[in-house]
Amino acid sequence: MDFNHLHCPECGEKTLNVEQPSDNEIWIKCSTCDLFIGLSEEEWHQIHNSPHLEKKIRALYEKDHPDIKIGHPCRLCLRRHEGGVVGICTRCLYKAIIIILVIMAITSFIVWFGIF
């Protein structure tokens, strides 16, 4: 049994593999982020013939991890977020704006007082 090219609910890559180590157990594993979901054969039998297999695996993942946010990873901190600007979450955006303002203030003092 090999279901390659399924999207991982944690990292979003197409590296999710389904293995059957024994007759009554199914393992869903991601080779990129080391996600592991163990299912009984009855649970797997309920979802494996569905046309929306990835959505059902995502629902199982969200049931086991209710605090995980859905969205894209931030380009700076790699946490998942929804929205944001240019792929950056609002926390990192605020930090970047503060850093830019501090650099601008220091630069203006350097130019004003002619330190260089």
Map out the domains of the chain as residue ranges.
Answer: 16-68, 73-113
- Specify the pLDDT at position 67: 67
**Does residue 106 have a pLDDT over 80?**
yes
**Does residue 7 have a pLDDT over 80?**
no
- Written as six digits, the tokens of 79 are 């946490």
More confident residue, 105 or 3: 105
- Written as six digits, the tokens of 2 are 């090999």
Section 30-46 average pLDDT: 82
Burial status of residue 57 (CB atoms within 10 A of its CB: 0-12, 13-18, 19 or more): buried
**Does residue 69 have a pLDDT over 70?**
no
